[in-house]
Amino acid sequence: MIVIMQVGATAKQISAVIQRIEEMGLKAHLSEGQERTIIGVVGDDRKAAERDTLGLLEGVERTMRVSHPYKLASREFHPKDTGVPLNGSVVGSKKVVVIAGPCSVESKEQIIETACAVKEAGATALRGGAYKPRSSPYSFQGLGEKGLEYLAEARQVTGLPIVTEVMEPGMVELVSRYADVLQIGARNMQNFPLLNAAGESQRAVLLKRGPANTMEELLMAAEYILARGNSNLMLCERGIRTFETYTRNTFDLNAIPVLKSRTHLPIIADPSHATGKWEYVGAAAKAAIAAGADGLILEVHMEPEKALSDGAQSLRPEKFAELMKQMRRVAEAVDREL
Ligand code: PEP
Ligand code: MN
């Protein structure tokens, strides 16, 4: 960080700033210009509260951050891509993984039938929510632990690993007993106790970007999980809220190359929630691969018209299988595999 002093700041004010920097356990590097003095803060100054107080000292015009507020998630700290193992593949390698399945687990038959269909089409993992974060308390809330049991049965039948959502810290242990990957949903991206609990678990984590969160906030949320020692972490762009109403969310395609440049963590795209309409899912999925996504998470339902959640954005198995073929061609065009 650098501290820019006001024009005409006194020597006393400058030494007070230096003293405060040293009290913080950091070093001050003084640069006296013709007009004003600039003080460089040398050392790890990520503690936001302390950093912000420097700006309050007399004679200080403003402070400017030089390093990112996240460290463990940053490419500077960890230049090499992090790979997360998933079903014999590595998320964050040349291979683009596909996680597919229904929004919610609705019955044993439904999840097993869908699991077989997505496996047949070449999916890497099965998704399905047993605990559902719904906007309305009157909407289907998920089957709970029964849903987890059905997911485990679907894994037994197909061999596909399970990606499923956990909504509260106290549930991490239970969900981890069944899941291969813990999904932290968009609405919970800044549920800090949940991030801490996921950071302490042994399971891989898929962390979704909140609908109104910046990429920096997503990276700071990732930092919580990394700081607790879990680096089996994937980030997910699932669309953000804008003024647009023709789609459910606005797919932030930019987030893919931007996040790839800022972090070593793999980036997954969720065109289902990003568009909210099955007819646009394919275009967004292909664009995500072209933009450098390491994987996709896609909602697939045997009978979308009867789905208990997110039917409008769910692909029928035939459409999903067709899209897999198209995505494979896009992946090859950008020197990836699917
Ligand atoms: C989901 O994956 O079904 C889901 C609820 O997603 P999000 O948290 O991105 O809304
Ligand atoms: Mn959904």
Segments of 59-171 assigned E as strands: 60-64, 84-86, 89-91, 97-101, 125-127, 162-165
The domain in which residue 43 lies consists of 2-64
Instruction: For residue 96, give the DSSP letter.
Output: P
- Check whether residue 39 and residue 90 sit in a common domain: no
Q: Nearest-CA neighbor of 128 among 157, 150, 98, 159? A: 150
Query: 316 CA to middle of ligand 2, Å?
Result: 15
- Check whether residue 227 and residue 279 sit in a common domain: yes
Query: Which ligand 1 atom sits nearest the alpha carbon of residue 208?
Result: 9
- Check whether residue 155 and residue 257 sit in a common domain: yes
Tell whether 162 is covered by a domain. yes
Q: Is the pLDDT of residue 65 over 90?
A: no
Tell whether 79 is covered by a domain. no
Query: 104 CA to middle of ligand 2, Å?
Result: 7
Tell whether 76 is covered by a domain. no
Tell whether 93 is covered by a domain. yes
| Neighbouring residues of 243: CB distance < 8 A, sequence distance ≥ 6 | none
Ligand 1 pocket residue status of 248, Cβ below 6 Å: no
Tell whether 89 is covered by a domain. yes
Distance CA 290, CA 166 (A): 30
Query: 179 CA to middle of ligand 2, Å?
Result: 17
- Check whether residue 201 and residue 302 sit in a common domain: yes
Tell whether 224 is covered by a domain. yes
pLDDT number for residue 295: 98
- Check whether residue 328 and residue 220 sit in a common domain: yes
105-125 pLDDT, tens digit each: 999 999 999 999 999 999 999
- Check whether residue 293 and residue 178 sit in a common domain: yes
Distance CA 238, CA 246 (A): 16
- Check whether residue 177 and residue 98 sit in a common domain: yes
Percentage of the chain with pLDDT > 90?
90
Structure token digits, residue 169: 């810290």
Domain harbouring 6, CATH code: 3.30.70.1140
Listing DSSP states for 269-329 in one string gives E-HHHHH-SHHHHHHHHHHHHHTT-SEEEEEB-S-GGG-SS-GGGPBPHHHHHHHHHHHHH
- Check whether residue 60 and residue 104 sit in a common domain: no
What dihedral angle (degrees, nearest 10) is formed by the CA atoms of 136, 241, 254, 189? -50
- Check whether residue 57 and residue 98 sit in a common domain: no
Instruction: Answer whether 28's CB lies under 8 Å from 42's CB.
Output: yes
- Check whether residue 184 and residue 37 sit in a common domain: no
pLDDT number for residue 42: 85
Instruction: For residue 243, give the DSSP letter.
Output: S
Ligand 1 pocket residue status of 208, Cβ below 6 Å: yes
- What is the pTM for the complete model shown? 0.92
- Check whether residue 130 and residue 58 sit in a common domain: no
40-59 pLDDT, tens digit each: 888 877 766 666 789 999 99
- Check whether residue 233 and residue 279 sit in a common domain: yes
Choose the final residue of a domain: 31, 64, 97.
64
Closest residue to atom 10 of ligand 1, CA basis: 186
The burial of 67, by beta-carbon neighbours within 10 Å (0-12 exposed, 13-18 middle, 19 or more buried), is given as: middle
Ligand 1 pocket residue status of 185, Cβ below 6 Å: yes
- Number of domains into which the chain is organized: 2
Tell whether 73 is covered by a domain. no
Tell whether 108 is covered by a domain. yes
Q: Is the pLDDT of residue 258 over 70?
A: yes
Instruction: Answer whether 21's CB lies under 8 Å from 38's CB.
Output: no
Closest residue to atom 1 of ligand 1, CA basis: 103
Question: What is the arithmetic mean of pLDDT over 203-232?
Answer: 98
pLDDT number for residue 305: 98
Query: 186 CA to middle of ligand 1, Å?
Result: 6
Residue 1 confidence class, pLDDT cut points 50, 70, 90: confident
pLDDT number for residue 48: 61
